[in-house]
Chain A
Amino acid sequence: MAGIATSELAAMIDASIGGRPAATLAEMSEFYRKLAPYRFAAVEVEPHYVRSAVEHYRPLGQPIATVISYPLGAMTTEAKLVQMARAMADGADELDIAIDISAFLSGDFTKVADELATMRALAGGRTVKAIYYAAILPEDAALRAVALIRDAGITFLKTNPGFGNVTTPAQIRAVRQRFGKTMRIMASGGVRTHEDALAMVEAGADRIATSSPFAVLGIGP
């Protein structure tokens, strides 16, 4: 793919601080300050920082995303709903929900789908992305997970939670080929450079999640 304008690429990025875990509020403020000159798709923060991000960062006009049952997807449905309701009350605009991957691998597709449908309903008009662990699933299983997600009324995918689960262009292409434009897809996990990002966009990704937003934009570390 030929070049892509910085502003155009920024508008596809969910930026997170990443790096050392357990960022302090001061580190978060510095991160927001560095993000401020660009218009990202969203800034992604851990649930405990949704409220402060909404207060300090959203006034810049940028949406706040957070994660639910992250990164293991192993909370009960009831606990996920509480976590999600709180994130919404704190002002989250987008919710990235990890599917119950253990239930999926155990063949309990009904549990996976019912949980997602319940959460989709709770989210109201907010953007919901379902994290489906593409990196640990064979392609046919990954596509089956995507079909369950779509049937639950969620039309935005997030490939992986990160933490060593790396997204490949092949994961994106598989979804594009099977589902066409009916699903949006965010490449998440291991996208650290401008070249990585361009490869994901070329494969059909609508968004990029990264903890290296400036490297991905090609304008800094």
Chain B
Amino acid sequence: MMPENERQLAALIDQTELGLAVTRSDLEAFVARAVEKRFAAVCILPNMVAFARRITAGTQTRVATVVSFPLGADVAEVKRAEARDALERGADEIDMVIDVASARMGDAAAITREVRLVREVLPEGALLKTIIEMPLLTAEQAVAAARAAEEGGAHFVKTSTGFKPLGIRGTNAEDVRLLRSVLRPETAIKAAGGVSSWPLVAAALAAGATRIGTSSGLAILAQFAAANAAPAAATSRA
């Protein structure tokens, strides 16, 4: 699904700020700008959800937050409590990190269980994205983890946390293609982690992603606009 204009592109992007030590005034400016640009959602840390909610109130911008981020190394019941707490504060979407160790151990049942426990606390209309951290997994482990998350009721499988201090590679279109080839059509894919330019976004969308997580949403919109303005300018000169 290729966007035809900036508005459509913005509606595919979770404009993301998950950095350490973001102040409330930084975040206020970040969310206000995201609302203005009509991104699908802002993806922010849990302690900012209530604050962000007040800024997005009455707009179409959804509030997404993370659970067990970035390591995924919590017990399932704690992940559920964290998700419930975020939902009560006004989160519309939960981006939950799966137990990546379970994926490395091939314990699909553990992943399905933790995803199901979180899914059970989602109200109607809320979305659950499950981050499987593909850069730490083999293709076989990633496929098993994605299917296990789907089995637990995930609306989206998300490729990576994009947490740079982990020293992991970025997500690419190949990751998205692999997931698209094994997941049911109704399970969506969010590409995140290193998808930081319009060409990379375009490749991920072409491979089957329907949501992009990035902290570079504004730059991507600008690159998209420039790429689409160029042919028009050439035409008008002709």
The chain A residues found within 8 Å of chain B, CB to CB, are: 20-26, 46-49, 70-76, 78-79, 82-83, 86, 90, 100-103, 105-106, 108, 133, 136, 163-164
Contacts and interface: CB of A to CB of B under 8 A. Distances in A.
Given A21-B100, A100-B47, A106-B25, A47 B73 contact: yes
A102 to B, nearest CB: 6
Nearest to B99: A48
B71 A70 contact: yes
A20 to B, nearest CB: 7
Contact of A102 (B47, B71, B101, B165): B47
Contacts of A75: 46-47, 82
Interface stretch (B15-23, B30-38, B173-181, B219-227): B15-23
B47 A22 contact: no
B208 interface: no
Interface string B45-84: 1111100000000000000000001111111011001100
A207 B99 CA distance: 30
10 contacts: A21-B71, A21-B100, A22-B100, A49-B73, A72-B18, A74-B46, A76-B86, A86-B77, A101-B20, A102-B22
Given A22-B136, A24-B105, 14 more contacts: A22-B103, A47-B75, A48-B73, A48-B101, A71-B71, A72-B18, A74-B45, A74-B46, A74-B47, A76-B46, A76-B49, A78-B85, A101-B21, A102-B24
- State the main secondary structure of chain A at its contact with B: loop
A116 to B, nearest CB: 14
Q: Which range contains the number of B residues in contact with the other chain?
A: 35 or more
B83 to A, nearest CB: 9
B78 A47 contact: yes
A21 B165 CA distance: 11
Interface in B89-135: 89, 99-101, 103-105, 133
A106 B24 contact: yes
B20 A72 contact: yes
Contacts of B47: 74-76, 100, 102-103
Contacts of B133: 22
B85 A76 contact: yes
B165 A163 contact: yes
A105 B183 CA distance: 42
A24 B73 CA distance: 11
B233 interface: no
B166 interface: yes
Contacts of A86: 75, 77-78
Contacts of A101: 20-21
A130 B22 CA distance: 19
